[in-house]
Structure 1
Amino acid sequence: MPKDMAQNTTIFTRRESEARSYCRGMNAVFTRASGSEMFDGEGNRYIDFLAGCSSLNYGHNDPDMKQALIEHITADGIAHGLDFHSETKAAFLEAYEEKILKPRGMDYKVMMTGPTGTNAVEAAIKLARKVTGRTNVISFTNGFHGMTMGALALTGNKGKRGGAGGGSLADVTHMPFEGALGENVDTLEMIDAMLSNPSSGIDAPAAFIFEPIQGEGGLNAASDAWMQGIEKIARKHGALLIVDDIQAGCGRSGSFFSFEASGIKPDMITQAKSLSGFGLPFAALLIAPEHDIWKPAEHNGTFRGNTHAFVTARVAIEKFWSDDTFEKALAEKAVLLTTALKDVADLVDGATLKGRGLMQGVDVGSGELAGAICARAYELGLVIETSGANDEIVKYLAPLTTPEKVMREGFDILLQATRDVTGNMKLAAE
């Protein structure tokens, strides 16, 4: 793309929907990317601490995935196959079975649901209602599960729900997530009490659904004990347990699934974002075999299974999850991340750290401050976003493969941005 055209943004304001968001605060016209770096048409370099909102856990244009995809395409490999059998799908399923499921003692059917996470969530709640014969689903405060109507009903964010235009977002009960009512309130006890009371007004649930780490809701990380408690309550009340691992999965928490350390056994698990490994649209629902009661074509979609994504997802699994080398490296990087974010938090009165693994952030207390820090970081060459009910958290989501040198360079930019913003605020106050 010629440089004089690369930075011309008038076509976007003239033709693209007002629904666009990220580009409003970061308006570069990006032309290429590699690893943890992005470049615009003028040659400016940006360190990527967003990674497609955790869709690029293995970085931009991983060379092994790229080569496998090029070979598949140049050999006239299947580009679109509905749910036909294909050798690429078989290879992905075999890799997933051997490298992901079996080592963890897990047994799930894999349902290809469509291109994005919300498709997997829709399939999960639809199946839970079919299995149990109930309609109510329990989700949690600050949870985010997608933007289509069923998934949106589960989502807590007022702004996102407002996009429904007043349409029905029914058959969902929102319960308090761990810590949502303060450290001294046992939300497990409260939830069980409400469901055990026949006069509480809450219908018996078909399922519980939660994110082990709430990505959009503020990096609230559920403890192992809380996740175990929700599983116990679900079993007690005859409900299924659905874990939304769309953003926190595929290594983001430090393990392939973000709930592994808890030992819980979900009935269903939603996956998307980095499942393809390459940023290609790919979502799936893992279903305990006894609950896979779909009739043929009872839930389908034109793009239920991205054949190109099967190619790259297989490579991602074989390259990063064949042994524990990658997982050990993630643990080391998580320590580096926590240390760096503490330095940022020290610059802001009352700031605290949120999240775990490689999904952490700094709660700076206000959306205005967090937004200003991220905006200044962008000016300095760092792509990073906010999170939380009021966008009050500066959120780290860099590719898991980011070299330590680049991580530290990005942290230096974030520190400088925080110093600049807080310094200007102090001057303004004086």
Structure 2
Amino acid sequence: MLDTHLLKQKIIEASKEIGIDKIGFTTAEPFDHLKDSLIEQKENHHTTGFEHGNIDERLFPELIFDQPQSIISIALAYPTRMNNRLKSVRGEKRGKFARASWGIDYHDILKDRLNKLIDFIKKEASQNLNVTFKPMVDTGELIDVVVAQRAGLGFIGKNGLLITEEFGSYVYLGEIITNIPFEPDMPIENQCGECTKCIDQCPTSALLGDGRMNAQKCLSYQTQTKGFMPEEYRPKIRSIIYGCDICQEVCPFNKGKNFHFHEEMEPDPEVVTPLLKPILTISNREFKERFGYLAGSWRGKKPIQRNAIIALANVRDKTSIPNLLSCVENDPRPVIRGTAAWSLSMIDPSNQAILDFLIEHFNKETDDEAKEEMRKAIDRMRI
């Protein structure tokens, strides 16, 4: 007979050696109290489309695993400040990847830790040949923060993120469903109190106040879309080309949090704060070689290039005008041509030569959306 109490203690000890910063256990009972909320979010178009599509499979572990008994939740802390200093390049502006995209893609790091943990459990439970496991990270069915909260790792803040006592919200989360009946840990209730800093400081008012958000308004989501970014969001991303950290940066629970436990998570400043202009003409091969190991590369180079064009406008980089003119004239992708036209009109709105150039290319443009972007850019410059 498997001694699950002893096994749990052994797992907790082994997790530290494996490189897991926090671990908790919960039952495999449904999370069905969230069903109405998830349906409402979907009906209100507050979801991103990146979530697992089947709501019931997100809430009922028995639908995705045979006879589940427990869920093991893990957290890994990631750094918030760079150890290496960035070299400044005179006259060049830089973009930024949000902290969750620093270092090697966290999905790969979490999968490594989860698989090592499963190997350990299998070894310890070798007398029981019927133990089974299903590991997952945020691309899986379950809702990471909800599992982690019920497993006692932390509480869900008003920004919808899991907040741990030790590491704040700067943690990556993963979980394992298993048929081993572990004793569950105690859930942690919300500790935000009257604080509304994350809600007040969100530039797009994406946070709804109860831990939910209108994800369509979230700047992190907007930086990951592939089409034209709605004009209202463009100035708000500033020079960020992937993700958003604002609701974490203003959170009192994150004050002073900065942990460097995992070498794979250490950022290369030249990669996560890249020069903006070279991104505009980077090849697919160069993009994969330079950025491919980042979580922020998962949507490919076009969103990053589009965001770099927006960032150049936001920092008013006049030295980028020749690069942007080339994008309008030579890039085969309508999103890049149209966004570059917008950027030009923002950087130097009174430049007659740029206006003439945009009028010329407006008359040549065949894509309706790119043409509309050029028309608005022209109108803006004629005011």
Pairwise same-fold verdict (TM > 0.5): no
> Highest relative contact order (Cα 8 Å, sep 6+), 1 or 2?
1
Q: Give TM-score scaled by structure 2 length.
A: 0.26
Q: Give TM-score scaled by structure 1 length.
A: 0.24
* Greater C-alpha Rg: 2
